[in-house]
Structure formats: C-alpha cells, structure tokens
C-alpha cells in the first residue's frame, strides 16, 4: 500500500431538488483505500506522521462500529505495524467493521467507557516497557493531522469549482468528533471565503460539540497559519441527533432508501444518511431556496450493509 499516492474523490450532481436547490455530493466514500470515507483520508496522513516520527506500533480507540478503527487496522496490517485498539464494552456487538478489524489482526482491549483513558495510558506504558515506540491516535482520527486532511478536501472543492464554474453556497456534512468540520472551516478561513459550512451533528450536543470544532480550528490555525477565526464561525447543528450516537428513525431509513434508489448511492444510519436527512430538514426549516448545495459523503459503507435487512423492510 502506497501512502504517497495523491488521491482525490469526484463530485457529482444529485437528482434531489428540494426547494429548487441544486444538490451535489462529494464522494469521499469512494476514497480508494479500505472502503474509503473521512477516516481513510485522515489515516493516510496519520501513518505518514507515524513513519516520520519513527514509531513502530499504534494505539487508538473506538467502538465495534468504528470506521476509524477499521481503516487504521487495515493500513497497520498492510505495513506490518502492530495495532492496539481500546474499545468500550458497551457498544461491542459484531458489525462489518469489527469483523474486518479482527481479520486485520488488531489486538482489542475492551473496557468500560469510564476506564477508556486509563486503559489507553496503561497500554502505551506497557508497550514502551516492551521496547516499542507507540503512536497514539485519538478516537475518530482527531487532532491537527486529521484536520489537515479536510483542509485538503476544501482545496479539492475549490479545484472543482474552478474547472466546472459551479460555486457552492452551502457545504453540508456529518459532524462527529469535529476534525472534518474543522478542516473545512480552516480551508474557508485560509482562502477568505464567505460560504456557509454546516455540520449536522450525529451525536454531540452544543455547546460541547461546537466547542470541540472551534478548539480544533484554533489549534490548526495557530500552528499552520497566522490567521484567526471569529467566535461565530462554527455552525454545528444539533437538532437532528435524535437519541444520540447510533440512533435513527423511520425518516432516516426512508432517506437512505430514496438516495440509494434515485442515485445509486449508499449512505448509513449512524452518520451520512442521518445527516442527509438532517440537511433536508434544516433546508426546509430555514427556507433555503435556489442555492447550490454540496453534501460531503464522509463514508461508512460497511455500516450501510449492517442495516440492509432493515432497509429492505422499510416502506
């Protein structure tokens, strides 16, 4: 696996036309490594950083449905790097992601959610005592390296706009642990753009969710650029989180089914399908008409297959 390929993803028009808006989608789910998505984008940069720092094993955490852990375990296996995953016992029923994580030979340590940080610390110390030089990645690929990958995506969007003549008034995407949104906002700030970037939260509520994005933006900008950010720069919408991480309703399932049938694009109930539904509700509620709207498909294809049976029964 070559980590230095310069990989980009396509943007395509959708058949959706709610409120006479034109909808486009950036297919980061097709990012061509390990079923793609934003975690694959982030992971490539994390592994480059790992090798630059001379580390020789990896420690990270996430639940059994974690896209992040799947991608990290896949690249670690490709590179022959031992991969240690700390996983909360609560959400540990088998999924396509967890089955792949096992296939890739990652070492899983389960613990209660409240013990995650001490378990991580213990694991890192244990590895150091054995003579390893561990590289730690926060859950979801959080941190400046993760942010960088979505600054890169923002640049790809600008390239598309230049070559197509289409300008996006709004960029919508699923916002979880915050670096996807932080990267897009940093890209916007660095380029002095005015458009709206709207993160539809799939789990976290404000003020915490939005604050984490803001902290990530500030952290990145202070290290990489001398630009600052206004206190109202983050639009982190928590109106569509339902009962939190992993929860969804009938409307989310219908949205997933409709997009699969109308455009042949799979989205999932935990992240992208939920946010696509949230985006449409937001557009109705805020009376957005006649705009060009880009939705970033941040991946999660294995999660789509986990819900396929349920989708089939949806009417």
Nearer to ligand PLP, 134 or 300 (CB): 300
Taking CB under 6 A as the criterion, the residue among 69, 300, 302, 306 binding ligand PLP is 300
Task: Give the bridge partners for 86, in sequence order.
Answer: 61, 109
Torsion of CA 105, 110, 114, 119, to 10 degrees: -60
Q: Which is nearer to ligand PLP, 84 or 173 (CB)?
A: 173
Q: What is the spatial distance between Cα 300 and Cα 305, in angstroms, rounded to a whole number? A: 9
Output the CA angle 242-244-246, nearest 5 degrees.
Answer: 100
DSSP letters spanning 27-89: -GGG-SSTT-SHHHHHHHHHHHHHHHTT--EEEEE--TT-HHHHHHHHHHHHHT--EEEEEES
d(CA 95, CA 305): 9
Give the residue with the Cβ less far from ligand PLP, 127 or 270: 270
Closest to ligand PLP by CB, 64 vs 174, is 174
Nearer to ligand PLP, 58 or 182 (CB): 182
Q: How far apart are CA 278 and CA 216, in angstroms?
A: 23
180 binds ligand PLP (CB under 6 A): yes
List the interface residues with ligand PLP, window 14-73 (CB under 6 A). Answer: 37-39, 67
- In the three-class reduction of DSSP (H, G, I as helix; E, B as strand; rest coil), residue 237 is classed as strand
Across the strands, what pairs with 198?
A: 172, 235
Q: Which of 47, 104, 271, 295 binds ligand PLP (CB under 6 A)?
A: 271
Tell whether omega for the bond before 207 is within 30 degrees of 0, i.e. cis: yes
Q: At what angle do helices 179-190 and 144-164 cross, to 10 degrees?
A: 50
Residue 207: CB minimum distance to ligand PLP, A: 16
Among 127, 197, 298, 307, binds ligand PLP (CB under 6 A): 298
**By CB under 6 A, is residue 178 in contact with ligand PLP?**
yes
Q: Using the rule CB under 6 A, is 143 a contact of ligand PLP?
A: no
The residue among 127 and 173 lying less far from ligand PLP, judged by its C-beta, is: 173
Which residue among 174, 216, 235, 255 contacts ligand PLP (CB under 6 A)? 174
Regarding 176 and contact with ligand PLP (CB under 6 A), the answer is yes
* Cβ atoms within 10 Å of 155's Cβ, excluding its own: 14
Binding of ligand PLP by 210 (CB under 6 A): no
Compute the least distance from the CB of residue 4 to ligand PLP, in Å. Answer: 23
- Determine, following the binding rule CB under 6 A, whether residue 216 of this chain makes contact with ligand PLP: no
Tell me phi and psi for residue 85, to 5 degrees: -120, 125
> For ligand PLP, which stretch binds (CB under 6 A), given 95-103, 110-118, 178-186, 248-256?
178-186
Which contacts qualify for 155-163: CB closer than 8 Å, 24 or more apart? 155/187, 156/8, 156/9, 156/26, 157/11, 157/26, 157/187, 157/294, 158/187, 158/191, 160/11
74, 97, 177, 235: residue in contact with ligand PLP (rule CB under 6 A): 177
Residue 175 is a binding residue for ligand PLP (CB under 6 A)? yes
Taking the least distance from each CB to ligand PLP, the nearer of 106 and 303 is 303
Least distance in Å: CB of 39 to ligand PLP?
5
Give the whole-angstrom CA distance, residue 258 versus residue 264: 9
Q: Which is nearer to ligand PLP, 176 or 210 (CB)?
A: 176
Task: Name the residues that contact ligand PLP, by CB under 6 A.
Answer: 37-39, 67, 140, 174-181, 271-272, 298-300
């Amino acid at each position: 696996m070559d980590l230095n390929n310069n990989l980009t993803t396509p943007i395509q028009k959708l058949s959706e036309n709610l409120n006479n808006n034109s909808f486009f989608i950036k297919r980061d789910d097709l990012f061509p490594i390990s079923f793609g998505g934003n975690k694959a984008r982030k992971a490539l940069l994390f592994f480059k950083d790992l090798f630059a720092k001379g580390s020789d094993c990896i420690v990270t955490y996430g639940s059994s449905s974690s896209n992040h852990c799947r991608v990290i375990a896949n690249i670690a296996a490709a590179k022959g790097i031992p991969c240690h995953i700390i996983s909360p016992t609560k959400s540990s029923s088998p999924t396509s992601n967890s089955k792949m994580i096992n296939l890739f030979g990652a070492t899983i340590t389960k613990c209660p959610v409240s013990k995650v940080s001490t378990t991580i610390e213990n694991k890192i110390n244990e590895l150091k005592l054995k003579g390893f030089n561990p590289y730690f990645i926060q859950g979801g690929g959080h941190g400046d390296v993760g942010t960088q990958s979505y600054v890169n995506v923002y640049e790809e969007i600008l390239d598309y706009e230049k070559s197509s003549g289409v300008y996006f008034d709004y960029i919508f995407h699923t916002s979880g642990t915050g670096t996807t949104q932080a990267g897009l906002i940093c890209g916007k700030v660095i380029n002095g753009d005015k458009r709206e970037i709207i993160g539809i939260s799939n789990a976290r509520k404000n003020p915490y969710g939005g604050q984490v994005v803001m902290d990530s933006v500030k952290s990145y900008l202070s290290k990489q650029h001398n630009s600052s950010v206004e206190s109202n720069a983050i639009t982190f919408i928590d109106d569509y989180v339902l009962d939190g991480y992993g929860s969804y309703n009938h409307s989310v399932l219908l949205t997933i089914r409709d997009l699969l049938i109308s455009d042949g694009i799979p989205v999932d109930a935990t992240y992208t399908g939920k946010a696509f539904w949230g985006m449409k509700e937001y557009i109705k509620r805020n009376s957005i008409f006649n705009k060009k709207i880009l939705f970033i498909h941040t991946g999660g294809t294995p999660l789509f297959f986990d819900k396929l049976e349920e989708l089939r029964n949806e009417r």
